[in-house]
């Protein structure tokens, strides 16, 4: 399906890795786990915060109790695995009933397979924003709020019907005075204080949960703080615009890669204005000749490896709504809302991890995870963890390129961490996440591609300090 596309409109497409975030195209089918009428309102400010906390607690308690009962019934009829799957689904439905802030936070939490069971990650990652777009009157009011009396001088025209809509922003097609067609990603008025209030309640809840005996040794506060910062970061469209500019600069030397240009003079803290890229479709790659598909796959991996091993600034959300291919052979990278900056130390450690994984040195891989961990439980079994990682790397090293799966490798690695009490640093998890997100796309383009062999030229450049 071909649709008008822009640098910030994210299509929610089911991909094998199921790591999906951001905006949903207007009119697309959404995962409606609970009707809007049953969801609590967005978080109010001031004195209403206590009321919001009561509403959240009541909805969560009632929904989880019903979900637990349903899961127990499923387990009795179909076995414990089916019961666990049902409960994970009910948890996701509970999150959906709590509204957009919690959906956004759960989407990020769904990436943390190092601390959250895979079944629950799958369900959380499939949650979608179900927020109607702003109507024409709301759009006009929002634009006037951001641009004031300068609106008519900044833009020659702005279409009042958004091309995409999400809980944080809507996206509009517009024309600048010089005739350039641009995309305007416009933050919803008042969404910042609302989401900040909800996330504050989430942090307070994490502080309570962290004190429970069953969560002793689990970095609950650290994980919740990290996901809250990720969600709040998506509210700062000024930062996102700068991050998109950074990606454009970092990837400028990678052949056949395009990142849209940000129009800084027209942008504002609550609005990003960038090149509108027309005629993008999620199925372009599938419709291209086999040779071009193989080129797309290699170019996509090179983009990720360039970010991971050379520049250290990583786009963690390259799902098919942020990654497109053109008939002219270009790879188009959109939206920098979920990006992380790796420290030089962590970039080096991740490159070291990937290199040793590719040559079968599991002991060094285990040492890197332990060195970068944010916490090791008092009763952690470090020797058993090390042996588990050595066995995992040895088994993976012997697999052919077609048989090797990063998703399976990461899932087993994270399971070892949970089992033996090792809490990985988000700085190590997010780079791996960026690879997991693109694996499904890359495999669909070229099932025989060798992830580790493709990385070697970029790893060699990283080891020799060549940018």
DSSP 75-139: HHHH-HHHHHHHHHHHHHHHHHHH-HHHHHHHHHHTT-TTTS-HHHHHHHHT-----PPP-HHHH
Q: Looking at the annotation, which residues are catalytic?
A: 317
Q: What is the mean pLDDT of residues 113-140?
A: 78
What does the pLDDT read at residue 48? 61
What does the pLDDT read at residue 64? 87
Is residue 40 over pLDDT 60?
no
What does the pLDDT read at residue 113? 67
How many Å apart are CA 281 and CA 46, to the nearest integer? 44
Examine residue 292 and state whether it is found in any structural domain, yes or no: no
Confidence band of 251 (pLDDT split at 50, 70, 90):
very high
Examine residue 415 and state whether it is found in any structural domain, yes or no: no
Confidence band of 424 (pLDDT split at 50, 70, 90):
confident
For residues 43 and 320, which has the higher predicted lDDT (pLDDT)? 320
Among 292-301, 359-368, 424-433, which is the least confidently predicted range?
A: 424-433
**Nearest Cα residue to 156 out of 188, 182, 134, 133:** 182
**Nearest Cα residue to 261 out of 272, 247, 245:** 245
Got the DSSP string for 267-317?
Answer: -BTTEEEEE---S-BTTHHHHS-HHHHHHHHHHHHHHHHIIIIII-EEE--
Round the average pLDDT of the chain to a whole number and report it.
80
Examine residue 117 and state whether it is found in any structural domain, yes or no: yes
Is residue 387 over pLDDT 90?
yes
Domain of 74 in residue numbering reads as 24-131+191-233
CA 439 to chain centre: 14
Is residue 216 over pLDDT 80?
no
Confidence band of 191 (pLDDT split at 50, 70, 90):
confident
Angle formed by the axes of helices 48-78 and 191-210, nearest 10°: 60
Question: Of all helices (H) and strands (E), which one includes residue 170?
Answer: strand 169-175
Examine residue 405 and state whether it is found in any structural domain, yes or no: no
CA 448 to chain centre: 26
Confidence band of 14 (pLDDT split at 50, 70, 90):
very low
What does the pLDDT read at residue 9? 38
How many Å apart are CA 321 and CA 79, to the nearest integer? 37
How many Å apart are CA 230 and CA 337, to the nearest integer? 9
Burial 230-240 (b: 16+ CB within 10 A, else e): bbebbbbbebb
Contacts of 193 (CB under 8 A, 6+ apart): 45
Burial 36-68 (b: 16+ CB within 10 A, else e): eeebbebbeeeeeeeebbebbeebbeebbeebe
**How many C-beta atoms lie closer than 10 Å to residue 167's C-beta?**
23
Is residue 277 over pLDDT 90?
no
Contacts of 79 (CB under 8 A, 6+ apart): none
Examine residue 390 and state whether it is found in any structural domain, yes or no: no
Examine residue 222 and state whether it is found in any structural domain, yes or no: yes
Examine residue 329 and state whether it is found in any structural domain, yes or no: no
Among 218-227, 228-237, 281-290, which is the least confidently predicted range?
A: 218-227
Dihedral of CA 16/19/190/194: which sign? positive
Examine residue 256 and state whether it is found in any structural domain, yes or no: no
**How many C-beta atoms lie closer than 10 Å to residue 366's C-beta?**
25
Confidence band of 21 (pLDDT split at 50, 70, 90):
very low
**Nearest Cα residue to 282 out of 334, 339, 245:** 334
Number of domains in the chain: 1
């Amino acid at each position: 399906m071909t649709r008008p596309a822009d640098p910030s409109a994210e299509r929610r497409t089911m991909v094998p890795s199921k790591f999906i975030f951001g905006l949903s195209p207007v009119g697309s089918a959404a995962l409606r786990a609970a009707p809007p009428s049953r969801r609590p309102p967005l978080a109010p400010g001031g004195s209403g915060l206590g009321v919001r906390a009561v509403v959240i607690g009541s909805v969560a308690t009632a929904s989880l109790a019903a979900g637990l009962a349903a899961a127990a019934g499923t387990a009795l009829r179909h076995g414990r695995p089916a019961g666990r799957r049902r409960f994970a689904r009910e948890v996701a439905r509970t999150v959906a009933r709590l509204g957009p802030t919690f959906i956004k936070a759960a989407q990020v939490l769904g990436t943390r397979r190092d601390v959250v069971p895979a079944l629950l990650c799958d369900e959380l990652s499939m949650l979608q924003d179900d927020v109607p777009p702003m109507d024409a009157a709301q759009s006009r009011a929002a634009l006037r709020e951001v641009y004031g009396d300068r609106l008519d001088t900044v833009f020659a025209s702005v279409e009042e019907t958004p091309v995409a809509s999400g809980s944080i922003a809507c996206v509009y097609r517009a024309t600048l005075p010089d005739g350039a067609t641009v995309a305007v990603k416009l933050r919803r008025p008042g969404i910042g204080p609302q989401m900040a209030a909800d996330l504050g309640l989430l942090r307070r809840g994490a502080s309570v949960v962290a004190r429970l005996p069953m969560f002793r040794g689990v970095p609950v506060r650290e994980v919740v703080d990290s996901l809250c910062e990720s969600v709040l970061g998506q509210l700062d469209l000024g930062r996102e615009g700068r991050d998109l500019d950074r990606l454009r600069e970092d990837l400028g030397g990678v052949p056949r890669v395009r990142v849209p240009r940000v129009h800084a003079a027209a942008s504002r803290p609550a609005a990003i204005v960038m090149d509108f890229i027309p005629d993008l479709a999620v199925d372009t790659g599938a419709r291209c000749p086999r040779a071009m598909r193989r080129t797309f796959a290699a170019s996509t991996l090179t983009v990720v490896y360039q970010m991971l091993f050379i520049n250290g600034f990583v786009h963690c959300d390259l799902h098919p709504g942020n990654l497109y291919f053109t008939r002219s052979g270009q790879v188009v990278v959109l939206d920098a809302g979920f990006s992380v900056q790796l420290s030089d130390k962590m970039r080096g450690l991740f490159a070291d991890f990937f290199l040793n994984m590719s040559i079968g040195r599991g002991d060094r891989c285990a040492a890197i995870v332990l060195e970068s961990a944010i916490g090791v439980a008092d009763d952690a079994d470090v020797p058993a963890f090390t042996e588990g990682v050595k066995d995992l790397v040895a088994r993976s090293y012997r697999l052919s390129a077609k048989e090797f799966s990063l998703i399976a490798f990461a899932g087993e690695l994270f399971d070892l961490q949970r089992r033996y009490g090792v809490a990985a640093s988000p700085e190590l998890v997010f780079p791996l996440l960026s690879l997991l997100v693109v694996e499904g796309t890359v495999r669909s383009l070229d099932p025989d591609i060798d992830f580790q062999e493709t990385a070697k030229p970029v790893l060699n450049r990283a080891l020799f300090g060549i940018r």
